[in-house]
Structure 1
Amino acid sequence: MTVNDALYELKAAVTDAVGGPVTALADVERIPLDYDAFLAHRTVSRIQGHALVGGERVAWSMIEKRTAGPALASAYLLDNGRREVNAYASGVLAGIAPGIGTPRMHGKLRDAEGGMTLWLEEIRHEGARPLDAETVLAAAHDLGGMGGLWAGRRLPEPWYFSGWIDRHSQPEAIEQGLATLRRRDPRAAAHLGDRLAAAEQLVLNQARYRGILESLPHTLCHHDAGGANVFHSRGRTVLIDWESIGPGPVGADLASLLFSSVRRGDALASVVMPLVEEALDTYSTALRAEAPTVTFKNIRLGFDAAVALRWKLAVDVVAGIEKGEPPRRGSLPDEDPAAALEELITLVDLLLASAGRALHKAP
């Protein structure tokens, strides 16, 4: 694809964005946005400029999400990028759930090297970051509604993501993780005490959590509904970043919302931890309004077992204490290290409580 072809596709995307035929583009600039900097060959930018529409000069702006081709990008990135393109192109996102909004896709481009570009509507978050309690509870409700709407449906699309359990449970890291926990470093023990033994048992029980999750009623999940991907916009919950869409058990998206948001610094433990039971009730009520045959017990079990997959948090906390560098949270890079450690130890408590409850409540 030539430069002229790319410009043609961009003009088509801008035409969709501004709602009128674009005869020329001017002042086009790209402003890089922070987005998973550890993923090489993936960029997210705000692209903006002016368009000539019916003789008038109109300002426009959208999000440009680009994944490089197979010569540079990993198979992981390529799979994610293709999946998101398929999700938008298939139309499934247009009617994902009454309470869930998604960005509008203005256009897409596949270049000669196999790279993929998506041009998407820019969503503005109307609220606080890190997320406040009101936004978390609203998102829990709307995710529950989505879970209920799709519960029990056939999900045949071959491009749906199916490897979410391995992504969270990281079987390839278990041996090293156990070694870290079994060192019983005195500094880690001073902070974590009996949690070290409980975390070791959690790692050893990962196969049991997989079995629990695979036995539960399934639905269509976002699978990355952490706070960075959750927006409150125009009175509704809007989710971005649909790279991991696919089947999963009821309760799994709530685990992403509550646990992963705190892990990444997109919400504070002091806000989320007191909300866990209320969020579960809110999520369950919305889900069961659409799918009344799904029980609260199954939803609770799905949430707890999905949280239990995140054992790596406990290992990362221990490793950080040993090195004198407590793990940081990506969305709060300037957070005080002592405060970050306290937040993450609070999250370890949720991890271990959920893990224990899942085994106790499993059939």
Structure 2
Amino acid sequence: MSERMPHAALEAAVASAVGAGHGAHVAVDEVHRDGIDYDAFLAHRAVHRIRGTARVDGEPVPWSLVEKVTEGPAFASPYLYDNAEREHAAYTSGLLAELAPRVRAPALRGAECDAEGRITLWLEDVPAPARPLGADALLAAARDLGGLAAEWVGRVPHEEWLFTGWIDRHGQPGAVGAGLAVLRSRHPSAVARLGSHLDAAVPLLLAQHRVRGILESLPQTLCHHDAVGANVFQTEHGTVLIDWESVGPGSVGADLASLLLASVRRGDASIATVRAVLGDALDAYAEACAGVVPPELVRRGFDAAVCLRWKLIVDTAATLASGDPARRGSAPAEEPERSMDELVGLVDVLIGAAERTLG
């Protein structure tokens, strides 16, 4: 799709993207938009790759940007708009300008919030790597996330807009009762695939207050809180993390749990790959934190953050009981049986973390 006559804010973003110097005349005659599949279930949010040719002092220069638009609060849900406001604040405050030696956010080229509250970000277009993530990519991301954690331990910002509800978002305390009912129903299909894990998960749900206490007692740092594979872009200079809508304080190890556990659940990595690199990934993260956080606390933080994801086993058991096909969001063409194998394998990781955390 193309449009003509871009407005002044977009022209300024394009000028930043092409590196036009002060005083240079930049004109954008046409903009081509291609939709990017991004959280399609969230209404009133649109993400496009926009591109075209700008004339910089008369010379044609190609450009491309990622344009992320969230409608104002009259249309977007409070959850969605809160996330959009947080990412806008994170970029425009300068917080994301210098994160860690090998971690960065896409460069901000322009931002706008109009009179109706419609928020637009124009961001650097970072080339997407292959999916699912392989072992090398996971290990590199684990090391760089450890570097991010080490950089911010003991000096987490206190801005009111930072996200602080990450434990409740993952631990879902209001859903524990319904989760226990699913586990205790012991549907034959769930028992056949999950076996003793159904019983092992019950004390995990009942001990979520203990899990919270462990996480809150650990060293706190600045976390991305959605470092799932789809948001991790490897480059020759390190890791680029996109979608900073949940940035805020969190425990060491929390982002590593997102990378390794949530990536499999979404379909951004395979359980076989995660199993193969799990120990090395923990070591890589801990080595990046050396001298700042002891490795045993990194492991404790990772395991406890994994324990927050108890809903994995409940949802897997419910899918088995219903007979509905299993699905992983980033792998829509995957055979349902393969998806179920991936989820059941991930349950093993969850229960292992629960055993180490709760003893």
- How far off its partner does 1:154 sit? 4.2
Corresponding residue for 1:166?
168
Over residues 123-142 of structure 1, what are the superposed CA-to-partner deviations in whole Å (9 max), with x where a residue is unaligned?
Answer: 1134x310010010011111
Q: TM-score, normalised by structure 2?
A: 0.95
The 8 Å contact of residues 5 and 29 in structure 2, kept in 1 or not, is answered as no
Match of 1:34 in 2: 37
Q: Is the 8 A contact 1:316 1:327 kept in 2?
A: no
Q: Distance in 1 between matches of 2:324 and 2:332?
A: 13
Which blocks of at least 5 consecutive residues in structure 2 are unaligned?
Answer: none
CA distance in 1, matches of 2:30, 2:90: 31
Partner in structure 1 of residue 308 of structure 2: 309
* Whole-angstrom CA distance in 2 between matches of 1:6 and 1:113: 19
**CA deviations over 1:80-102 (Å, ceiling 9, x no partner):** 11111111112121110001122
Match of residue 336 from structure 2: 337
1:10 equivalent in structure 2: 10
Deviates more, 1:299-308 or 1:30-39: 30-39
- Distance change in 2, residues 1:321/1:122 (3 Å): same
Structure 2 residue 184 is the aligned partner of structure 1 residue 182: yes
Rounded Cα–Cα distance in structure 1 between residues aligned with 2:25 and 2:8: 10
Instruction: Please name the residue that 2:275 is paired with.
Output: 273
Tell me how far apart the structure 1 counterparts of residues 8 and 203 of structure 2 sit (CA, whole Å).
Answer: 57
SS of residue paired to 2:290: helix
2:96 aligned with 1:97, yes or no?
A: no
Q: What is the alpha-carbon distance in structure 2 between the residues aligned to residue 154 and residue 209 of structure 1?
A: 22
Aligned to 2:64: 61
Q: How many Å separate the matches in 2 of 1:40 and 1:327?
A: 24
What displacement does 1:322 show? 1.6
Aligned to 2:148: 146
8 Å Cα contact 1:125/1:233 also seen in 2: no
> What SS class does the counterpart of residue 149 from structure 1 fall into?
helix
Shift of 1:311: 0.7
Which amino acid letter does the alignment assign opposite residue 217 of structure 2?
S
Preserved CA contact (<8 Å) 2:5 2:30: no
RMSD: 1.5
Give yes or no for contact 1:152–1:218 (8 Å, CA) kept in 2: yes
Structure-2 change in CA distance of 1:34 and 1:54 (3 Å): same
Matched length: 353
Deviation string 1:224-264 (CA, Å, 9 cap, x unpaired) is: 11100101123311111111111111111110111011110
**1:87 and 2:86 correspond:** no
TM-score normalised by L of structure 1: 0.94
Residues in 2 aligned to 1:51 and 1:250: alpha-carbon distance in whole angstroms: 44
1 CA distance for matches of 2:53 and 2:5?
19
Letter in 2 for 1:33: I
Q: CA deviation at 1:56?
A: 1.8
- Paired with 1:123 and 1:216, the residues of 2 have a C-alpha distance of 34
Structure 1 residue 5 displacement after superposition: 11
Q: Percent identity?
A: 56
SS in structure 1 opposite 2:230? helix
Say which SS state the counterpart of residue 134 (structure 1) adopts.
helix
Aligned-pair CA distance for 1:22: 4.9
Would the aligned equivalents of 2:6 and 2:30 in 1 still touch at CA under 8 Å?
no
Q: Which runs of 5+ in 1 are unaligned?
A: none
Worse-matched range after superposition: 262-271 or 321-330: 321-330
Q: Once structures 1 and 2 are overlaid, which stretch shifts more, 15-24 or 253-262?
A: 15-24
Output aligned runs, 1:258-297, within 5 Å.
258-289=260-291, 291=292, 294-297=293-296
